[in-house]
Amino acid sequence: MNIEQLIRPDLIGMKAYSSARDEFEGTASVFLDANENPNDNGVNRYPDPLQKSLKAKLATLKETNPENLFLGNGSDECIDLLFRLFCSPGIDTVAAMSPSYGMYSVSARINNVELKEILLNEDFTFSTDRFIEESKGSKLLFLCSPNNPTAFSIPRKEITRIVENFSGIVVLDEAYIDFAKEPGLLGELEKYPNLVICQTLSKAFGLAGIRLGLLFGSKEIISWLNKIKPPYNVNQLTQQFALDYLNNWEKIQSETAEIISERKVLEIALEKYSFVEEVFPSDANFILVRVNDANKLYQYLINRGIVVRNRSTQPLCQNTLRLTVGTAKENQLVLEALNQYQI
């Protein structure tokens, strides 16, 4: 597969911005090359534009190579940069499963790229042949597994069948993969030059506030993303905080296990309410439920000081609420409120 043929033609041959830190790395006693304020306050210097220490640590943790890893200001920046790299505004189209994460269509709109939404089946399962057919001719295809808001995973062999049959880039969003029963596709990345995988530290890692998104792909795609990204897209505070926090690997893993076990508690409890029509099985850190009157229940919970997400306006999601799994105490508060709900 020739990746260069998929890149926006007007970007070919483009010279990346060269920052002071790109042009000189290493030790010196006096740095007068970047028009920084010389007074040391811990953050007066520009950060490493390629986040080398942090990438080395993340690559070890994820059992991959730093050259296959791109870091963004959240996955949202990675998604936007993929549009900018591969799609000519007003010309190219992309495809995405639907219902799914809202930023695919927002990013498409901002970049003036037409988005074709391919509906899941009514029961939120995935029809691979239909996806292969309907995504033909698109530059990018967004798949989200486990999917937001349905919390379903797409079977691995269905994902790879799509990747093998798609002539553009498949963007597999694995934001919730740490909560899933099956591992993701990172271990198979090398086999598929047209696959990129997005992950994030915002969910299982508990670091939504520092904004750090991970994109895994071929060295070629990663070096293109490095060319077009804003020079210092991951700030110093984020890089340092993540580096320190990743030493708490056991804490991160035990929190994930706790969330998965709390998810089970909630799933079982939710099944019992007469106003709950369906609890969709979850591979993520949230549960989608279909209820008899989502607007009424949503407002009732708000009045009790509990905010969930009403997903009823999403395709195929009539009368659904999405509940993030909270702490054991928070989940008990939700269940106590639901116990007192009058239909």
What's the chain's length in residues? 343
**Closer residue to ligand PMP (CB): 101 or 273:** 101
The contact pattern for ligand PMP, residues 28-67, with x = CB under 6 A and - = no contact, is ----------------------------------------
Q: For residues 222 and 295, what is the distance between their CA atoms, to the nearest angstrom? A: 44
User: Which CB atom, from 49 or from 146, has the smaller least distance to ligand PMP?
Assistant: 146
Judged by CB under 6 A, the stretch of 70-78, 291-299, 309-317, 319-327 that binds ligand PMP is 70-78
Report d(CA 208, CA 59) in Å as an integer. Answer: 20
What does each C-alpha distance from 195 to 173, 175, 216 come to in angstroms? 11, 15, 9
The reply to whether 252 sits near ligand PMP by the rule CB under 6 A is: no
Locate 307 and state its tokens: 């905010």
95, 144, 186, 259: which one contacts ligand PMP (CB under 6 A)?
A: 144
Q: Minimum CB separation from ligand PMP for residue 286, in Å?
A: 9
Buried b (16+ CB within 10 A) or exposed e, 221-255: bbebbbeebebbbbbbebbbbbeebbeeeeebeeb
The CA dihedral of 262, 267, 272, 276, to the nearest 10 degrees, is 130
The verdict on 283 binding ligand PMP (CB under 6 A) reads no
Q: Does position 282 bind ligand PMP by CB under 6 A?
A: no
Q: Which position among 107, 194, 200, 218 is part of the footprint of ligand PMP (CB under 6 A)?
A: 200
Task: Sketch the per residue contact string, 154 through 173, with ligand PMP: x for CB under 6 A, - otherwise.
Answer: -------------------x
Size of the site for ligand PMP (CB under 6 A): 12
Q: How big is the CA angle at 239 (ends 234 and 242), to the nearest 5 degrees?
A: 125
- Whether a cis peptide bond, with omega within 30° of 0, leads into 99 is yes
Residues between 86 and 125 that touch ligand PMP (CB under 6 A) = 101
Query: Using CB under 6 A, which of the segments 31-39, 42-50, 115-123, 200-208 binds ligand PMP?
Result: 200-208
State the minimum distance, in angstroms, from the CB of residue 312 to ligand PMP: 18
Specify whether the CB–CB gap between 89 and 112 falls below 8 A.
Answer: yes
Query: Residues 33, 176: contact at Cβ < 8 Å?
Result: no
Residue nearest to ligand PMP according to CB distances in the complex: 74
Taking CB under 6 A as the criterion, the residue among 51, 135, 194, 202 binding ligand PMP is 202
Smallest distance, Å, CB 206 to ligand PMP? Answer: 12
Write the DSSP symbol of residue 265.
H
Considering the complex, what minimum distance in angstroms separates the CB of residue 251 from ligand PMP? Answer: 20
Residues contacting 282, CB < 8 A, separation 6+: 146, 151, 179, 263, 267, 288
Supply the DSSP string of 219-231, one letter for each residue: HHHHHHHHHHS-T
Q: Which of 64, 68, 75, 285 binds ligand PMP (CB under 6 A)?
A: 75
Binding site for ligand PMP (CB under 6 A): 74-76, 101, 144, 148, 173, 175, 200, 202, 208, 213
